[in-house]
Structure 1
Amino acid sequence: MSKILKVQHLSKTYRSGEHDLNVLNNVSFEVGKGESFAIVGPSGSGKTTLLGLCAGLDTTDEGEIWLCGQNLFELDEDGRARLRNQNVGFVFQDFQLLPTLTALENVIVPLELRGVKKAADQGKELLAKVGLQDRIGHYPSQLSGGEQQRVALARAFANKPAILFADEPTGNLDDETGTKIEDLLFELNKEQGTALVIVTHDLELAKKTDKSIRLRSGKIEETVG
């Protein structure tokens, strides 16, 4: 299985006043094509920092990350941005939809930025897949939290990413709605063959993935799978 994400001996330290804060310490793991992978741990364990580094949103102090065959730290900021635009999807806890755009317009933004023809048709198809074919003209304020996250999922998969990073994707949802979003996430992951990396504190969600690591104080405490 080809590796979409490969992390080797990753460490990250932030300067806090007169002290160094070691957020990640010698973290290594791999995620293959189509695999689902969870990064688990309590608040402050380094989960979100690790996700940001893996997506090339930040740079590391030590170690290396290969994303879709590219060494992230051999690329400048523009190079990392191009790599993300071409290969990466994101889903966040707070949805991050544009409030002045309809559900359909939110979904087709990444398609239009890439100059995709018939972007609206693709957007409608994606919204139908997440069960929102009747809500395409609604604005985020007219949608429930679960519906907004479905729009965010459709948008994340619009560019058929090689890898999707999901940061606490059900954190703002009730249990029943969260379970439906999880099911959708895994369904789209399998259907499109997208590697899926989920940051979560939810151990039950982590059990649904192919592999997982548990972080504590920036170190891998346990590896499953």
Structure 2
Amino acid sequence: MAKILNVSNLGKSYSSGSKKLSVLEDITFSIEKGDTFSIVGPSGSGKTTLLGLCAGLDRADTGSIELCGTDLGALSEDERALLRSREVGFVFQNFQLLPTLTALENVVVPLELQGDKKASQIGIQLLEKVGLANRLHHYPSQLSGGEQQRVAVARAFSNQPSILFADEPTGNLDAETGEKIIRLLFDLNMDTGTTLVIVTHDMELAEMTQHQMRLKGGKIVVAQNTPLL
């Protein structure tokens, strides 16, 4: 299988006053196209920072990241944004929906920015797929947390991404609703072949993915393909 993400000797640190705080150190792993992969670890272990680097939202200090066959380090800010718009989907813990737009409008924003004339049609189909056919014209404030996350999932799949990054996708949801969202993500992964990368502290969720990696203190302590004990 082709590798969709290759991370090699990745390091990232931030300045905190006069001190340098190391967030990630010597991270190396790869993910194959179509796989489901989880990154787990306690708060402060570097999970979200790693996700942002892999998606090209930030630059690493050391090492390299190859996403969809492209070296992110060789790209400008605009080129990375273009790659994300074509290849990447995101689902966040806090939904990140635009409050002044309806569910349908939130889903079609990425498509309209690309000038897709079928944006509305695609948006309706996606919202039907996530069980929100009767909520197309509701605003986020009129939707439950679970419904808002379903809108976010539909939006994430709107550009038919090669890879989807989900950062604590069930973090703000009750257990039952969270379970439905996860099932939805895995079903869409199966239907579309989109690679799914989930950052989570939920061990049960992590064990649902084909491969897992555990971080602690910015380092890998359990490598991929190794059962989490």
Moved more, 13-22 or 84-93: 13-22
Shift of 1:15: 1.3
Alignment-derived partner of residue 62 in structure 1: 62
Matches within 5 A, 1:157-172: 157-172=157-172
Q: Deviations over 1:80-113 (max 9, x none)?
A: 1111111000000000001111111111111111
Alignment-derived partner of residue 43 in structure 2: 43
Q: How many residues align?
A: 225
Preserved CA contact (<8 Å) 2:29 2:224: no
Alignment-derived partner of residue 149 in structure 1: 149
Q: What is the SS of the residue equivalent to 1:134? A: helix
Shift of 1:61: 1.1
Alignment-derived partner of residue 208 in structure 1: 208
Separation in structure 2 between the aligned mates of residue 141 and residue 13 of structure 1, nearest angstrom: 37
Separation in structure 2 between the aligned mates of residue 61 and residue 67 of structure 1, nearest angstrom: 17
- Give TM-score scaled by structure 1 length: 0.98
Structure 1: state its 5+ residue gaps: none
Q: What is the SS of the residue equivalent to 2:116? A: coil
Q: CA RMSD in A?
A: 0.7
Fraction of identical pairs, as percent: 66
- Give TM-score scaled by structure 2 length: 0.97
Alignment-derived partner of residue 20 in structure 1: 20
Alignment-derived partner of residue 220 in structure 1: 220
Structure 2: state its 5+ residue gaps: none
2:124 is equivalent to residue 102 of structure 1: no
Separation in structure 1 between the aligned mates of residue 223 and residue 177 of structure 2, nearest angstrom: 28
**Stretches (4+) displaced over 2 A:** none
Shift of 1:190: 1.1
Alignment-derived partner of residue 90 in structure 2: 90
Separation in structure 2 between the aligned mates of residue 190 and residue 27 of structure 1, nearest angstrom: 28
Shift of 1:19: 1.3
Matches within 5 A, 1:177-188: 177-188=177-188
